[in-house]
Chain A
Amino acid sequence: MRSRRDRLIAVLVILPSLMLLGIFVYGFIGQTLYVSTTDWGSGANAALALNPETHSVGLGNYRELFTGFLDIRFRQDMVNMLFFTLLFVVASLLLGLLLATLIDQRIKGEALFRTIFLFPMSLSFIVTGTIWRWLLQPSGGVNALPALIGLPAGRFLWLSDRSQTLAFNYQKLPYYLVVGAMVVLAAGAIFYLARRRYRTAGFLAIPAAVLLAWVAAGGTASYNVLAYPEPHGLNFALLGIVLAATWQMSGYTMALYLAGLRTIPDELREAARVDGASRFQVYRHVELPLLMPVTWSAIIILGHISLKIFDLVFAMAGPDNAPTSVPAISMYLTTFRGNQFAKGASVAAILLIMVSLLIIPYMVTSLRPRSAK
C-alpha cells in the first residue's frame, strides 16, 4: 500500500532530528563523562582555550568531591538537595491532593479557583524567586504578617539562617548506608511474613541479620569515608525555597490529581454508596487507592524537577548563598566562575545519574503500554 520510496522519505524526514539529539544529548553526555575524568581547569593549562590540553585523572574528581577536604560545600549541597526534594515533594503532594479533593466537591466558582491555584505554574522560577525574595526579607513580608493582626512579628532569617537540624556525621556514611539497607530488608521480611510467604521473608531476613551482626560488631568503622568527623544536616534556610517551590508547583499536582479523580468511573462510587459507604469512606477506600498511580507519576516528575532545581535558588538567594546551595548551583559556579571544567563535569554527571535513576524506570513503565500498539 505505502511504497518503499515513501518509507525511505519518512526515515529521511526524521533523521535530522535524531542526529541532532544524538549529538546534543548523547554525544554531549558522553563528552561530559569524559571531561569529568580529566584535569581540565585544575592544572596550569589555559582553561578557556577551545582545545585545552588535559590529562586523565581517572575517577579522581569524584573522589575529591566525596572525600576531599576542600569539597565540603559540595557534600552539604547534596544533603541540601536531598532534604529539599523530600520536603518539596511531600508538601506538594499533600497540598495538591487537598486542593484537588476540595475542588472536586462541586464548589461554587470552581473554574476561578482552579485558575488561581494553577497560575503560579505559568511563571518562571526567576519571577517566583524574585517575588519570594522580597516576601522573605527578614524584617518585612511574611515575617511582618503576624504584626498586621497585633501578634509579635516573626524573626526567622529565612534565606540566610545558618542553623541546622537532623545533623549526622558524614564520616560514617557507610554505616548509615548499611543501616538503611538493613531497615529496607527487615521491612521487606516483615511485609512477606505478614502475608505468610515464609521463604521470601527468610531470604530477606537472613541478610538483614548478617548486616545487623556486622554493624553491631563495629564492622563499618573501618570503612569511614573521612579521617575526621564532618557534620551535615538540614539547613533551616532551605525552608523558604521549599515554600516558594511549593507555592509554584502544588497547582500542578492538583491538576494531576484532578485529572485522575475525573476519570474514576461514577459507577464505582455509586456501587460503594449502594453498599452503604459514607461519602468519606468512598473517598478513603475507592478514590484514594485509584489515585496511587497519579501519586507515583507526581513523585517522579516533582522529584526530578527538584533534583535539578537551579533557577529558583539562583533568583531567591543568589548563587553564592551557601546555606541554600544545591549541586546544580555548584556546577554552575565551579564551571563558569571558577573555570574548573572537569570538576563541574563531575557534578553534572552525578546529577545526571540521580535523575536517570528516577526517570529511566518511569519511562520504561509509562511508554510500554503505548508502544505495544
Chain B
Amino acid sequence: MRPKTSPDTISTGTAPRRATAAAASRRTDWTRLFVQALVVLLAIVYLIPLYMTVVTSLKAPAEINLLTAWKLPSHPYWEGYATAWRQFSPTLKNSFILAVVATLLSAVLGALNGYVLSKWEIPGAQLVLPFMIFGMFIPYQSVLIPLFQFMRGIGLYGGLTGLILVHVVYGLPITTLLFRNFYVAIPDELLGAASIDGAGFFKILRWVIFPLSGPPFVVVAIWQFTQIWNEFLFAVTLAQPGSQPITVALANLAGGEAVSWNLPMAGSILAALPTVLVYIFLGRYFIRGMLAGALKG
C-alpha cells in the first residue's frame, strides 16, 4: 500500500489536525514540555551553522581568529559584504541570467509536453514518460564527456548560451513530470466540451489548459530556479571564467587557502539569499516540487 502524499497539508500550517481531544488530555503536561524542549534544542542545533556564517561575515579580517570564532563581532564590519559584492556581482549576474532564461524555457517546454502526455493519446505513451524521467536521475558524469565534445563542436563551450541549453534539456524530465501530474487532474469533460465546440489542439491549450496553468507554473519555476542557481558540475566543466555562475566562484574562493574567512561567508550569504528568500516566501510551492522529484507528486 502506498499512502498518497499531499504536500499542501505539510506546508500550509492550517492542515486539518485530528480532533482527538481525549487523547491529548491523557498525555501529561511534562511529555508535551519535553517534546517542545527537544524541538527547540534541535532547532538551535540546525541554526548553529547559520549563526556562525553571519557572525563571521560581519567580522573584520583582523578579528577572525579560530579561538574566538563563536563570539559576536566587536562591531559589525560591513566592508566584507562590499568586497564580496564587488567580487561576486559578475558571477551573480551570470547565475541570474542563466537561471531565469533556462527556467522559463524548460517550463514552457515542460508545459507543452505535460499537456500532450496527459490529454492526448500518442503512440507508445506508456513508455514516453519513463523514457523522459530516467534523465533526471542519471549521474551527469555519465554524459559529461560527449557533452563537453558536443559543446566544443557547435561552438557553445564556455559560454552562458551553452549552459542555458544544457539546463533546459536536462530540466525537461522534471518540468514535464510536474506539469503532466497537474494536468492529469483536470477533468477530461472540460476538454470534451471544448472539442465538441470544434476546438483543436491549440485552442484547447489556449482556452482550457493555459488559464489553469498558474499554480503548476509557480511550482516548476521555483524548483527549476533553485536547481539551476545551485548547480555546480556543469558550471565547473562547461563554463569559462567570464561566464561562470556564483557556485563556481564561491568554490574557487573558499578553496584558496589564503583568504580571510569573512569573505567566503559573506559570499555564501549572497549566493544563498535568492533561493532562501524564495523558500521562505513560497515554501509550500518549493516543497511540492521537492516531493514530486521523489515521484510522489
On A, residues with C-beta under 8 Å from B are 1-3, 5-7, 9-11, 13-14, 16-18, 20-21, 24-25, 27-29, 31-32, 35, 50, 98-99, 102-103, 105-108, 110-111, 113-127, 129-135, 137, 139-141, 144-145, 148, 247, 252, 255-256, 258-260, 262-264, 266, 269-270, 273, 279, 290, 293-294, 297-298, 301, 304, 307-308, 310-311, 314-315, 318, 328, 331-332, 335-336, 341, 344-345, 347-349, 351-352, 355-356, 359-360, 362-364, 366-367, 369-371, 373
User: Which residue among A50, A130, A135, A290 has the maximum number of chain B CB atoms within 10 Å of its CB?
Assistant: A130
User: Do the beta carbons of A363 and B141 come within 8 Å of each other?
Assistant: no
Known: A102-B35, A126-B230, A127-B272. A14 touches B117 (CB 8 A): yes
User: Do the beta carbons of A17 and B6 come within 8 Å of each other?
Assistant: no
Nearest-Cβ distance from residue A294 to partner chain B, whole angstroms: 7
The complex places the Cα of A131 from the Cα of B276 at a distance, in Å, of: 15
User: Do the beta carbons of A114 and B10 come within 8 Å of each other?
Assistant: yes
Known: A258-B10, A259-B10, A307-B139. A10 touches B122 (CB 8 A): yes
Per DSSP, are chain A's interface residues mostly helix, strand or loop, or mixed? Answer: helix
Known: A10-B116, A20-B172. A122 touches B146 (CB 8 A): no
The complex places the Cα of A158 from the Cα of B290 at a distance, in Å, of: 31
Interface check B241, CB cutoff 8 A: no
The complex places the Cα of A251 from the Cα of B48 at a distance, in Å, of: 15
A sample of 9 inter-chain contacts (CB < 8 A) reads: A10-B122, A17-B176, A32-B143, A106-B17, A133-B254, A134-B264, A262-B9, A315-B232, A367-B130
Nearest-Cβ distance from residue B186 to partner chain A, whole angstroms: 13
User: How would residues 36 to 72 of chain B score, 1 for a CB under 8 Å from any chain A CB and 0 otherwise?
Assistant: 1011001100111100110010000000011101100
Provide the residues of chain B in CB contact with A123, threshold 8 Å.
230, 272, 275-276
Nearest-Cβ distance from residue B48 to partner chain A, whole angstroms: 8
Known: A135-B52, A141-B69, A255-B291. A273 touches B20 (CB 8 A): yes
Provide the residues of chain A in CB contact with B240, threshold 8 Å.
none
User: Do the beta carbons of B120 and A50 come within 8 Å of each other?
Assistant: no
User: Do the beta carbons of A117 and B23 come within 8 Å of each other?
Assistant: no
User: Which residue among A9, A21, A263, A304 has the maximum number of chain B CB atoms within 10 Å of its CB?
Assistant: A21
Interface check B156, CB cutoff 8 A: no
User: Do the beta carbons of A355 and B137 come within 8 Å of each other?
Assistant: yes
Known: A255-B290, A266-B18. A124 touches B36 (CB 8 A): no
On B, residues with C-beta under 8 Å from A are 1-7, 9-11, 13, 15, 17-20, 23-24, 26-27, 32, 35-36, 38-39, 42-43, 46-49, 52-53, 56, 65-67, 69-70, 109, 112-113, 115-117, 120-123, 126, 128-135, 137-147, 149-150, 152-153, 166, 169-170, 172-173, 176, 184, 192, 195-196, 200-202, 226, 229-233, 236-237, 247, 250-251, 254-255, 261, 264-265, 267-268, 271-272, 275-276, 278-280, 283, 286-287, 290-291, 293-296
Counting residue pairs across A and B whose Cβ atoms lie within 8 Å, the total is 327
User: Do the beta carbons of A6 and B232 come within 8 Å of each other?
Assistant: no
Known: A27-B146, A293-B2, A367-B133. A1 touches B192 (CB 8 A): yes
The complex places the Cα of A9 from the Cα of B236 at a distance, in Å, of: 39
The complex places the Cα of A263 from the Cα of B143 at a distance, in Å, of: 39
Provide the residues of chain B in CB contact with A315, threshold 8 Å.
232, 250-251, 254-255
User: Do the beta carbons of A132 and B120 come within 8 Å of each other?
Assistant: no
Closest to B22 in A: A273
Nearest-Cβ distance from residue A202 to partner chain B, whole angstroms: 31
User: Do the beta carbons of B121 and A7 come within 8 Å of each other?
Assistant: yes
A-B pairs with lowest CB-CB distance, top 7: A140-B66, A124-B230, A122-B279, A10-B120, A28-B143, A259-B5, A352-B142
